[in-house]
Amino acid sequence: MSAPGLSPAVLLMGPTASGKTALAVGLSSRFPLEIVSVDSALVYRGMDVGTAKPDAATLARAPHHLLDIREPNETYSAAAFCSDARALMAEITARGRVPLLVGGTMLYFRALLQGLDDLPRADPALRKRLQQDAAERGWPALHAELATLDPATAARLAPNDSQRIGRALEIFELTGRPMSAQLAQAPRALPYRVLQLALIPSDRAALHRRIGERFDAMLDGGLVDEVAMLRRNHVLDPAMPAMRAVGYRQAWAYLDGDIDLKALREQGVAATRQLAKRQLTWLRSWHGVVRLDCLADDLEARAADRVAAHLAA
């Protein structure tokens, strides 16, 4: 992924609650780095508590690009991210600084590094049939079916990830080929000399404790009030991408009276753990990445050593 003569860039990836923001802010105080967020939820205005969006003091120390660029009732795609991120990276480099891309939306990272796929467009009739099938048999049954057709894609999806399971099955029916095989072809390198850092916990239980503590902090910080405010101020429904974000869909169900506060907390923590598991599944097979223990006391020092060597190369 690296080549001589190209400008440097740093990618910092990791599961939720692994400390990416804190590390990015620390690194930006040591090196001429500018942070570009790689997060499909942080793009939405008004979604601050449930996304653990950096607070004003943090942003004053280390400004982040690609925060608060969409309303919650709007969409934001991998294609839009790639266009925005590449433009920002060029601007940052032109200023004599180095782009530091930070986040956990692995699909965005892959699209940026390899280019966008040429997959078929959605087929409304086929999608409707798949949804009817799921209503009868359940999404876990369709997930099991996907596992026989496209095991690589199924392995990184939760059994109830209806949107992505449906899309993968749709692509297979339309093309006769697994989505994973089509995404793997014709990679297009990002035109930068890239250092990829991944925060991987040495103790999964410790990451789970962090996730629980952070979700509790979100609840104490007003997650439910935030979702209620979003519902008052925007025309939203629970199927919209913003409201499908972890924490937001559980808070929505609570506000609708479908679950109580205890279930909100339990389901929110469980969903966040599942998200972290999927992110780690991506990273286990990620090529060219330097793995760092996100629980290490000297994490920032280790990361700084890598960044210093990369910038000096």
Per-residue model confidence as pLDDT tens digits over 148-189: 999 999 999 999 999 899 999 988 888 888 888 876 655 556
- Give the rounded percent of residues in the chain with a pLDDT score beyond 70: 96
Are the C-beta atoms of 190 and 7 separated by less than 8 Å? no
User: For residues 149 and 169, is the Cβ–Cβ distance under 8 A?
Assistant: yes
d(CA 147, CA 157): 10
List CB contacts of 211: < 8 A, sequence separation 6 or more.
Answer: 16, 17, 269, 272, 273, 276
pTM over the 0.85 mark: no
**Residues 67, 43 contacting (CB under 8 angstroms):** yes
pLDDT in tens, 210-265: 999 999 999 999 999 999 999 999 999 998 999 999 999 999 999 999 999 999 99
What is the structure's pLDDT at 79? 85
In which band, very low, low, confident or very high, does the pLDDT at 68 lie, cut at 50, 70 and 90? very high
The mean-pLDDT minimum among 117-126, 173-182, 301-310 falls in 117-126
What pLDDT does 175 receive? 82
The mean pLDDT of 279-296, rounded to a whole number, is: 94
Range 124-184 classified under CATH 2.60.110.10: no
pLDDT tens-place string over residues 85-108: 999 999 999 999 999 999 999 999
Question: For the chain, what are the domain ranges?
Answer: 8-115+187-312, 124-184
CB 170 within 8 A of CB 146: no
How far apart CA 275 and CA 263 sit, in angstroms, is 18
Q: Using alpha carbons, list the distances in angstroms from residue 310 to 36, 114, 313.
A: 18, 21, 5
Mean pLDDT of 201-213: 97
Q: What is the mean pLDDT of the segment spanning 15-25?
A: 97
From residue 265, alpha-carbon distances to 16, 46, 53, 108, 311 in Å are 17, 21, 19, 28, 43
Q: Is 286 helix (H, G, I), strand (E, B) or coil?
A: coil
Q: What angle, rounded to 10 degrees, do the helices at 204-220 and 223-233 form? A: 60
Question: Within 10 A of 175 (CB to CB), how many other CB atoms are there?
Answer: 13
The whole-number pLDDT of residue 2 equals 47
The domain 8-115+187-312 having CATH identifier 3.40.50.300: the answer here is: yes
Q: Cite the beta strand spans of the chain per DSSP E.
A: 8-13, 33-38, 64-65, 98-103, 193-200, 289-293
In whole angstroms, give the CA distance from residue 106 to residue 6.
24
- At residue 4, the pLDDT reads 57
| Mean pLDDT estimate for the chain | 93
Question: What is the per-residue pLDDT for 177?
Answer: 84
Per-residue model confidence (pLDDT) at position 115: 79
